[in-house]
Structure 1
Amino acid sequence: MNGKRVRWISAVIGIACGAAGASAFAALSVGDPAPDFTAPAAIGGKAFSFSLAESLKKGPVVLYFYPKAFTSGCTIEAHDFAEATPKFNALGATVVGMSIDDIATLQKFSVEACRNKFAVAADAGGHITKAYDAALPGGSQMADRISYVISPQGKVVYVYSSADPDEHVKRTMDAVAKWNSANAVNR
């Protein structure tokens, strides 16, 4: 094939993949009500019951879904959120990670990857993941990498979806700061 034809085919494939990716993205939208939930969770290796409603009474919640504990991308993302948790707390926000892993796995993950800084919740059966439209496409039994910022009123104020774990912390922190500023929250 000549170079022009290869570039044209690459452009068509890129457009098609972009369109497919856009239509495959099924996360909740900004302004949607965040489905309430209570789930088994762990922080510092200790299990407890995480309640979204209770956490929202304290301020915004950063709820991030990730595919599987102890995989490279998920561990990187957990380390990043652990490093940033004090800044999120200073903004009045609670961070919680969510996966379909069992609670025993998450008790270990909360210590090793989350560094005892924030809770990770177990979504046995994937019901919460489905309610947030955060399941990987194709009937997978794993969550996609999607981060939400939820206002104390229970509304989605920010959504970020990317398989790359690197931007989730920065983007959600910026969204919390922007929400605080727009709502004149002084902390």
Structure 2
Amino acid sequence: MSLSRTTFVCAALATSLSLAVAASPALAALKAGDKAPDFKLATATDGKTGAFSLKDSLKKGPVVVYFYPKAFTGVCSLEARTFADNMPKFKALNVTVIGVSTDTIQKVTEFSKADCQGKFPVAADTDAKVAKAYDAKMAAVNMAARVSYLITPDNKIYATHEAGDGVSHPMKMLEAAQKLKK
């Protein structure tokens, strides 16, 4: 295959993927007051693997579950860094944060050290079961959409945020956590 044909094929594939992603937003059918689906997933924090249980984490206080499409992509990296920068504020409110994507455990392990700066766990939902349960799976591809939830200790959705930008998710979840604390 010539270079120009290879370039054309790559451009066509990229365009197709972009259209599929744009045409398949999350439904965010989970609303305030809905019961949050319980889950357990393999995680990584600061390059070390472990496990996360929503049920166990809710015993300690509220939990932010944020779904992101792909580690080490521009917006997802910005979002992770913004959550990491704001972790002292979340911790002051006794809020646990976990990021969830369909990336492999190897990929989230690297991401947990780099962009998450070791400040919170990220989970590997490779089969997208958790993303589906939270209406955060893109329809056309095996990727999570950008949707965030704040869940109260009684296992209820307190706040939901979905938008394409990475900065609004940490800030909206922090704002919701501050309101919850009052």
Shorter-chain TM-score: which interval? Answer: 0.7 to 0.9
Inter-partner Cα distance in structure 2 for 1:71 and 1:24: 19
Matches within 5 A, 1:99-118: 99-118=101-120
- CA RMSD between the two structures: 1.4
Following the alignment from structure 1 to structure 2, what is the Cα–Cα distance between the partners of residues 37 and 159?
18
Matches within 5 A, 1:102-181: 102-136=104-138, 138-181=139-182
Q: Displacement, 1:26?
A: 3.4
Q: Structure 1's 24 and 39: CA in aligned 2 closer, same or farther, altered over 3 A?
A: closer
Contact map agreement 1:27 1:159 (CA 8 A) in 2: no
The alignment partner of 1:165 has SS state of coil
Alpha-carbon distance in 2 for matches of 1:166, 1:88: 15
Match of 1:72 in 2: 74
Cα offset, 1:180, TM superposition = 1.1
Misfit runs of 4+, over 3 Å? 23-27
**Contact 2:148 / 2:160 at 8 angstroms: preserved in 1?**
yes
Q: State how far apart, in whole Å, the 1-side matches of 2:26 and 2:102 are.
A: 20
Gaps of 5+ in 1: 1-20, 182-187
For 1:24 and 1:88, locate their aligned partners in 2 and report how far apart those are by CA, in whole Å.
25
Counterpart residue type for residue 29 of structure 2: A
Q: What is the CA deviation profile of residues 57-103 of structure 1, one whole-angstrom value per residue up to 9, with x for unaligned ones?
A: 11000110000000000000000000001110010000000000010
Q: Which residue of 2 aligns with 1:18?
A: none
Q: Deviations over 1:87-141 (max 9, x none)?
A: 10010000000000010111100000000000001102000000000012x3211
Q: How many residues align?
A: 159
Where does residue 42 of structure 1 map in the other structure? Answer: 44
The counterpart of 1:81, out of the listed 63, 66, 83, is 83
Residues 111/179 of structure 1: CA separation in 2 closer, same or farther (3 Å cut): same
Q: Is the 8 A contact 1:60 1:93 kept in 2?
A: yes
Gaps of at least 5 residues in structure 2 are 1-22
* Bigger Rg, structure 1 or 2: 1
